[in-house]
Amino acid sequence: MGAIRSLKPDLTSSQDLTAGALSYESSSGNRSFKVDEVILKASVNITETVTITRTSSAGATYDHIIAKRSMIAEQNFVFRPSGDCNFRAGDEIKVECTNANVTGVVYITIKRTEVLP
């Protein structure tokens, strides 16, 4: 039988790009989870780079980018893994958005499912 999955509350954050770039890292604790979806919505069309990274509990050497997108005059970016995107206990997900063009507010939502033994 496969692992049981349980929905976790959405993680949300926002950043006014005039105040600085977005750099948000989850704090999931010591539970394994699966990333279902990462949504970035901007208050206006933005031309920025969005990067989504798995931050490994094994250390920075094992961190890796799971999605990267150069948005050009767009308001929305939705990342949905094409397969299972499982994170081990202690791993985190980091969402970054540059502020090179310094306009608008970006809002992120991370949808996860807890993987239970």
- pLDDT digits 0-9 by tens, 3-12: 556 778 899 9
Return the pLDDT at 117.
65
Residue 108: partners with Cβ closer than 8 Å, 6 or more residues away: 11, 12, 13, 14, 22, 24, 38, 39, 40, 41, 95
Average pLDDT for the chain: 90
Q: Check which CATH number belongs to the domain holding 62 and give it.
A: 2.60.120
User: In the predicted model, is pLDDT for residue 29 greater than 60?
Assistant: yes
- Domain encompassing residue 87: 4-116
Q: Number of C-alpha atoms within 13 angstroms, CB side, residue 37?
A: 11
- pLDDT digits 0-9 by tens, 56-94: 988 999 999 999 999 999 999 999 998 777 888 889 999
Range list of H helices, 20-79? none
Among residues 93, 85, 94, 95, the alpha carbon closest in space to that of 115 is found at 85
Q: How many domains in the chain? A: 1
Return the pLDDT at 89.
85
- The residue with greater pLDDT, 117 or 94, is 94
Compute the C-alpha angle 39/114/91, nearest 5°: 75
* Strand ranges for 3-104 from DSSP E: 4-7, 11-16, 22-25, 33-55, 64-79, 86-87, 92-97
- The residue with greater pLDDT, 100 or 116, is 100
